[in-house]
Amino acid sequence: MTTAPLPDPDVGLPHAEPPVVLARDLVMTYGEGDATVHALRGVSLSVDRGDYVAIMGSSGSGKSTLLNIIGCLDAPTSGTYELDGVDVGDLSDNDLTDLRNDKLGFVFQGFNLLRRTSAVRQVELPLAYAGVPRRERRPRALAMLEAVGLGERIDHLPTQLSGGQQQRVAVARALVTEPALLLADEPTGNLDSRSTDDLLGLFAQLNSDGRTIIVITHEDAVAAEAKRVLVLTDGEIVEDRRQAPVDGPPPRLGAVA
């Protein structure tokens, strides 16, 4: 089993940025006695700012459990987790909600868009929840939709958009609050091959622009786009493969260069 070395907090420059994700010895168990399920068995993981990581594994490997912990949706049985330098274990439920809203952007397989809400209003919603003044919401939402290639679809409802376009709205919504981490759970699962390629091209460009991305996937073609691939089996990281430097372009754009 190989894992990337964790940074020593006592080494380095005082002003050095912390990893976006820093997990140590994560253990997650469910049930008791003979019914105990060991979902994670001492997983340690460090993800630096600007990295693009794919987490793979079959059903029951622990990848969904790890996703929930990274996304501050669940707490481990033991171990520690820091998100962008914040120790999650020390936070109240309200503080966890604030941290998720501030530091994380989620993209799901099912898009999770409101059926009767326009694209621009979908993207404005996280800003409203974050308390951003009304006069600032529309310009920021419009700019983000333009950035994901939907500048001409701002008033369209989900039913008026293709699957790939709906997922782009979901990406814009996830990024409009400028989170430290974009966390995508099987984001291509409901897309055709062309829309999948378009979305992966968008992720490559976002990462090239400095976005930190973690993608949960079971597809080799999706993992091939990441700078780093982690493979989980039975709650342990059994492979940690670097495909491109953290500070370089992702494989797709690197090949073009």
Give the pLDDT confidence of 129-139 residue by residue, as tens digits. 888 999 999 99
pLDDT of residue 1: 46
Residues 10-31 pLDDT 10s = 444 445 789 999 999 999 999 8
Distance between alpha carbon 204 and the CA centroid of its chain, in Å?
13
Alpha-carbon distance of 153 to 139, in angstroms, equals: 15
Residues 6+ apart with CB under 8 A from 72: 83, 88, 96, 99, 100, 104
Residue-wise over 98-108: b if at least 16 C-beta within 10 A, else e?
Answer: ebbeebbbbbb
Alpha-carbon distance of 195 to 169, in angstroms, equals: 13
Are the C-beta atoms of residues 92 and 75 closer than 8 Å to each other?
no
Biggest CA-to-CA distance, the chain: 57
Compute how many other C-beta atoms are within 10 angstroms of the C-beta atom of residue 178. Answer: 11
Consecutive 10-residue averages of pLDDT for the chain (257 residues): 48 68 96 86 96 94 94 94 94 91 92 94 93 94 95 95 95 94 94 93 94 95 96 96 96 77
Q: What is the pTM of this model?
A: 0.89
pLDDT of residue 10: 46
E strand map for the chain:
21-30, 37-47, 52-56, 78-83, 86-87, 104-108, 181-185, 213-216, 228-233, 236-242
Alpha-carbon distance of 30 to 165, in angstroms, equals: 38
How many Cα neighbours within 13 Å face the side chain of 62? 23
| Nearest to 41, CA basis, from 246, 253, 237 | 237
Residue-wise over 3-25: b if at least 16 C-beta within 10 A, else e?
Answer: bbeeeeeeeeeeeeebbbbbbee
The fold adopted by the segment(s) 21-256 is: Rossmann fold (3.40.50)
Residues 165-187 pLDDT 10s = 999 999 999 999 999 999 999 99
If you ran DSSP here, which 8-state letter would residue 35 be given? G
Residues 36-56 pLDDT 10s = 889 999 999 999 999 999 999
Alpha-carbon distance of 97 to 11, in angstroms, equals: 31
Domain boundaries, the chain: 21-256
Alpha-carbon distance of 133 to 49, in angstroms, equals: 29
